């Protein structure tokens, strides 16, 4: 077993670094082996998988499960970033086996490539409207202060049927997810309101409800909708910052979809997978792990490994919103380059900074100041 308590900079440390600077601690982590047992942010050991080949095997291994009931009892759920257990909240992210498969089937049609492609025009309209509104605010605007936060919520909200008038409530609920326990509780009340409002409209939230197995309660549906809204916001928000920065620095891409994939691969909004736990004593690539050991995959660290990108994960829990995210990100790039051709970075690129909040949460640009955000026709 490879034990590393000090492998250079800890990969879970919070901090601020240059936009293009490497992820802290990743090189040393990978040099230590394909499975590295190190100190988890909430204490105790965590096994980190550091190669893409092993990651694919681990992400499909039924002995490694996501139910947080298996998390170390000493962990504080909030600071460890743990969801409720599978028994406490029905969720794609914690369910396994037949329950998980039934949930995925219920979600699949609304997030299918065909359904999502059909919404691309509406996404471009939303991006145009939001960017155009910012352009009227003044000469220099910070895209991460408003656009990258709100656009993903407009997109996922429109998809589910959340009224646009509740956009500020959605922004607030997401913001409070990062606060203390009281904030977290208030955020969940806010998300439940968004879910209830979506269910009152004729959108995909209702369609999801109709597809779910009999006996699923309204509260459970609200939690599923929360997961879509929050997972769709925090990842795409971060990705948009890195993506739009690349476009502003390098100019319009020849192939937008390829640029989106490259940015997600190099700067995965989820730099680690969510937590998994060994359901029994297991051995991974020769490393014995006792039942209950937390396991993570270092998605940021495997960026240069051969094979398809792992930015959206792999296996049964692969991102349910991957098509949506790709189309949504490409729509934002297309609108920026087509409708706002004078948009320019307002600071030298090497002044851009990214903030690592610490733990397993991904980083985000601290600011993306842009000038010339006047619409082509405006």
Residues that bind ligand HEM (CB under 6 A): 92-93, 104, 156, 227-228, 231-232, 235-236, 239, 264, 268-270, 273-274, 311-313, 317, 319-321, 324-325
Angle between helices 147-160 and 181-199 (to 10 degrees): 40
Nearer to ligand HEM, 148 or 236 (CB): 236
Beta strand extents in 238-368 (DSSP E only): 276-278, 282-284, 287-289, 294-297, 344-345, 353-356, 364-365
CB of 377 to ligand HEM, least distance (A): 30
Q: Terminal CA-to-CA distance of the chain, rounded, Å?
A: 62
CB of 372 to ligand HEM, least distance (A): 26
CB of 312 to ligand HEM, least distance (A): 5
Nearer to ligand HEM, 36 or 296 (CB): 296
CB of 239 to ligand HEM, least distance (A): 4
Check the CA dihedral 22-26-28-31 and report its sign: negative
CB of 89 to ligand HEM, least distance (A): 13
φ/ψ of 149, rounded to 5, equals: -75, -45
CB of 319 to ligand HEM, least distance (A): 3
Nearer to ligand HEM, 192 or 297 (CB): 297
CA 118 to CA 116: how far, in whole Å? 5
Q: Which residues, listed in sequence order, are joined to residue 365 by a DSSP beta bridge?
A: 354
Nearer to ligand HEM, 34 or 313 (CB): 313
CB of 209 to ligand HEM, least distance (A): 16
Helix (H, G, I), strand (E, B) or coil at 92: coil
Using the 8-state DSSP alphabet, how is residue 12 labeled? T
CB of 144 to ligand HEM, least distance (A): 15
CA 53 to CA 56: how far, in whole Å? 5
Nearer to ligand HEM, 83 or 135 (CB): 83
Looking from the CA of 210 toward its CB, the CA atoms found within 13 Å total 9
Task: Give residue number: closest CB to ligand HEM.
Answer: 321
Nearer to ligand HEM, 160 or 187 (CB): 160
CA 90 to CA 85: how far, in whole Å? 8
Helix (H, G, I), strand (E, B) or coil at 268: coil
Nearer to ligand HEM, 106 or 239 (CB): 239
Contacts of 22 (CB under 8 A, 6+ apart): none
Nearer to ligand HEM, 51 or 236 (CB): 236
CA 350 to CA 276: how far, in whole Å? 36
CB 326 within 8 A of CB 105: no
**Nearest of 112, 58, 76, 105 to residue 274 by alpha carbon:** 58
Kindly give the residue spans of alpha helices, DSSP state H, lying in 7-71. Answer: 26-31, 52-59
Nearer to ligand HEM, 95 or 370 (CB): 95
CB of 68 to ligand HEM, least distance (A): 12
């Amino acid at each position: 077993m490879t034990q590393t308590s000090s492998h250079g900079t800890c990969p879970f440390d919070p901090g601020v670094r240059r936009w293009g600077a490497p992820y802290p601690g990743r090189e040393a982590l990978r040099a230590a082996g394909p499975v590295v047992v190190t100190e988890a942010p909430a204490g105790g050991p965590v096994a980190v998988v550091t190669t893409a080949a092993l990651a694919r095997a681990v992400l499909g291994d039924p002995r490694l499960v996501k139910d947080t009931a298996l998390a170390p009892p000493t962990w504080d759920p909030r600071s460890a970033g743990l969801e409720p257990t599978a028994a406490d909240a029905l969720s794609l992210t914690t369910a396994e086996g037949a329950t998980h498969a039934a949930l995925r089937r219920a979600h699949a049609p609304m997030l299918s490539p065909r359904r999502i492609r059909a919404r691309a025009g509406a996404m471009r309209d939303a991006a145009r409207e939001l960017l155009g509104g910012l352009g009227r605010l003044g000469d220099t605007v910070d895209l991460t202060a408003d656009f990258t936060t709100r656009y993903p919520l407009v997109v996922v909200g429109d998809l589910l049927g959340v009224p646009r008038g509740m956009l500020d409530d959605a922004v607030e609920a997401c913001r409070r997810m990062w606060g203390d326990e009281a904030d977290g509780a208030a955020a969940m009340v806010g998300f439940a309101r968004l879910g209830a409002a979506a269910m009152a409209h004729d959108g995909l939230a209702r369609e999801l409800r109709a597809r779910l197995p009999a006996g699923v309660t309204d509260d459970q549906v609200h939690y599923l909708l929360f997961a879509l809204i929050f997972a769709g916001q925090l990842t795409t928000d971060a990705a948009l910052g890195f993506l739009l920065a690349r476009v502003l620095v390098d100019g319009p891409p020849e192939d937008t979809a390829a640029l989106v994939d490259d940015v997600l691969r190099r700067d995965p909004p989820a730099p680690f997978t969510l937590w998994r736990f060994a359901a029994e004593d297991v051995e991974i690539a020769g490393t014995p792990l006792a039942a209950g050991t937390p396991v993570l995959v270092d998605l940021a660290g495997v960026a240069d490994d051969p094979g398809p990108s792992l930015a959206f994960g792999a296996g049964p829990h692969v991102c349910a919103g991957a098509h949506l995210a790709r189309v949504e990100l490409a729509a934002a790039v297309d609108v920026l380059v087509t409708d706002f051709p004078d948009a320019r970075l307002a600071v030298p690129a090497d002044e851009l900074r990214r903030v690592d909040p610490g733990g397993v949460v991904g980083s985000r640009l601290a600011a993306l100041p842009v000038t010339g955000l006047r619409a082509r026709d405006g």
